[in-house]
Chains A and B, each alone.
Chain A
């Protein structure tokens, strides 16, 4: 017996069970992604702490944590290695580290070459620019570090925060883009004279390329070309291509045991990005755990609508008397809150109608910044607690309760 659904009623998002995800021993990697400024770093750290409390040996790789959060995780020294976070009374263990992209790049070079060769590469000005400021290096090195942490088997769960780019897709695309660039035709042609004595590459592309090479050396200086040549030939003989390396880590993201958690704020841009990302994961066959809708504003009571609260505020102010200003203010706060919550729920519904299968967990905004372990614990509770136990009648997958069907 199924009741016919009103066509206007949006599909309900399934509940996201993060408690089950983090305590499942089969879960080995959780990637938190989403566009910049939605709280990915705090979400990753809160999930990691919660997982440690659930008995896991966790390492969380953060990219660019706020200073106070970094301090509270003990991330004061930038040694590019995980540090144990003091969490008294925790069953498991929490390690945290902050990505140092230059250091990670240096380590890759060192690990695959002789000390003399590595010195040559480190001193190369093009390498220095590439490893510290190239667009995509951060994503590439985050991916690399993730591979290393997973391979070490010292932790049974690796949680990764992704770099703060405008597009969530950059995390998946940048490493490939960069390895393609390093292995690419252009760089090979450009460096062909240095590597093969000159003529072969030039014949292939002809005059257009000669011109390009001339312009590049004119504008950027011949030295840069020489640096690139030297760098590429040093790498070439050293290890089997950047592309294979990036590919290997990319494959890791497809394996069972990896889960993606997409984080978005209840705002149109962030949810649009989340939507693209969800589509992309499904094309790539990468497992999505669900959407964390971060910094929502669920009201503490929903029996009074925004309109009625506004009217009541006026009535209270008019009646006057002791405490009337405060009570009228509280009613206005509630009216505003209901309006905000309705907008947030509308945005969430729109996401769900496009992706009805994606589980959702809404996480209420904290009154201030989350910058210590207590703050992370509160957020972890909001991420992991059971779907129905809010005490306000609003399930944790939503900002406002589902209206009871009319009649």
Chain B
């Protein structure tokens, strides 16, 4: 799940994880940017580098969450490939790990995506541990670089464990098991960035999934009067008769104020609606999630999850 900053990709990723966990399935929700956004959403203490259950879904399904800590992943990696557990701890103390990820930013992404691939392919008793892994990934501006690990490590390593591992990661990301979903708002910049990200992902051979329009609103004015109102053709005196007929004594300046607010509302809605065409033109399946009037809580996440489930079923049927 990617999207421009501020589009609510963490919320949508959490809702997707919930919808995929329905009917007894097991889902892992992964945080990659160290913001503890998932913990905030599910109202739990900050997540350690450990898979913790954050929600149960219907039919015994569950969502576990994991906040990947780059340092810890690095230590795990050293241990796994070089048997360097104690040395790793010493390095951590020296601040050397920070340094290594700083001089080679690609290393960070390799560690994160390596951990994701491990979770996707982990098996127990002959079956996958997780039915699905949902990644709250970096924003649209960075997503292709993040997922295109082979490219990233080309400058780092031409052979050895890093190269082998990144090839394995790439094989998973390019397979039909993966879909990169993009979250957008009905605003110019996010829609533009979504379009850019889709062409970059496609060029890198990464599978693009759905476009999710988040925080969509319904117009409060009757459909028939929207475009007229948006053109500014509504005044206080247009509203006064109906107000008076209902026995509401509104001063003319109140009616003028109401008209001005209605015009602004209509303009905003018309501008958003115009962007729906641009979103359709991206040629991907589209689903809209409504703007929540209250702060996002678990109940609200389940509502969004229902919407996404419906969308996924339609897509699967198509």
Contacts and interface: CB of A to CB of B under 8 A. Distances in A.
A281 interface: no
Contacts of A328: 242
B248 A316 contact: yes
Nearest to B88: A215
Interface footprint category on A: 35 or more
B247 A367 contact: no
Interface string B62-79: 000000000000000010
Contact of B189 (A66, A303, A334): A66
Interface string B245-274: 111101101101111111011011001000
Interface string A112-129: 000000000000011001
Contact of B254 (A126, A303, A319): A303
A329 B110 CA distance: 53
B65 to A, nearest CB: 20
B243 interface: yes
A330 B99 CA distance: 58
Interface residues of B, number: 60
Contacts of B82: 215, 218
B171 interface: no
B243 A316 contact: yes
Contacts of B187: 369
B5 interface: yes
Nearest to B103: A228
Nearest to B190: A37
A68 B100 CA distance: 39
A134 interface: yes
Contact of A133 (B105, B162, B239, B261): B105
Contacts of A164: 5
B197 to A, nearest CB: 15
Residue of A164, A209, A221, A301 with highest tally of chain B CB at under 10 A: A301
B296 interface: no
A307 interface: no
Given A125-B155, A135-B105, A312-B243, A301 B222 contact: no
B100 A303 contact: no
B247 A315 contact: yes
Contacts of B157: 219-221
Interface in B92-107: 94-96, 99-100, 102-105, 107
Nearest to B246: A319
A238 interface: no
A326 B239 contact: yes
A319 B239 contact: no
Given A186-B95, A221-B157, A327 B90 contact: no
A66 B262 CA distance: 28
A323 B155 contact: no
A111 interface: no
A219 B100 contact: yes
A212 interface: yes
B282 interface: no
A301 B257 CA distance: 5
B243 A134 contact: no
A164 B99 CA distance: 23
Contact of A300 (B95, B220, B257): B257
B221 interface: yes
B248 A324 contact: no
Contact of B259 (A126, A221, A312, A330): A330
Contacts of B265: 333, 337
B156 interface: yes
A5 B239 CA distance: 40
A53 to B, nearest CB: 26
B78 A318 contact: no
B87 interface: yes
Max chain B Cβ within 10 angstroms of own Cβ: one of A181, A215, A303, A327: A327
Interface in B180-222: 187-189, 192, 220-222
A216 interface: yes
Interface in B123-158: 155-158
B298 interface: no
Which of B84, B94, B95: most chain A Cβ within 10 A? B94
B238 interface: yes
A187 to B, nearest CB: 8
Contacts of B100: 216, 219-220
B102 A181 contact: yes
Nearest to A67: B192
A371 interface: yes
Interface string A307-340: 0000010011011011111111111111011000
A220 B104 contact: yes
A68 B188 contact: yes
B225 interface: yes
Interface string A349-376: 0000000000000000001110100000
Nearest to A303: B254
A217 to B, nearest CB: 11
Contact of B264 (A37, A181, A367, A392): A367
Given A215-B91, A369-B188, A392-B257, A330 B262 contact: yes
B241 interface: yes
Contacts of A337: 261, 265
Interface string A13-42: 000000000000000000000001100000
A62 to B, nearest CB: 14
A299 interface: yes
Given A220-B100, A330-B221, A334-B261, A129 B188 contact: no
Given A300-B258, A367-B267, 15 more contacts: A181-B102, A211-B87, A212-B96, A301-B258, A316-B248, A322-B241, A324-B246, A326-B262, A327-B239, A328-B242, A330-B261, A333-B258, A369-B187, A369-B189, A371-B188
Interface of B: 5-6, 35, 78, 82, 84, 87, 90-91, 94-96, 99-100, 102-105, 107, 155-158, 160, 162, 187-189, 192, 220-222, 225, 229, 234, 238-239, 241-243, 245-248, 250-251, 253-254, 256-262, 264-265, 267-268, 271
Shortest 7 CB-CB contacts between residues of A and residues of B = A301-B257, A327-B242, A300-B257, A319-B246, A329-B221, A367-B267, A330-B262
15 contacts: A129-B104, A135-B102, A164-B5, A181-B99, A211-B91, A212-B91, A300-B256, A303-B251, A321-B242, A324-B245, A330-B262, A333-B221, A334-B261, A368-B267, A368-B268
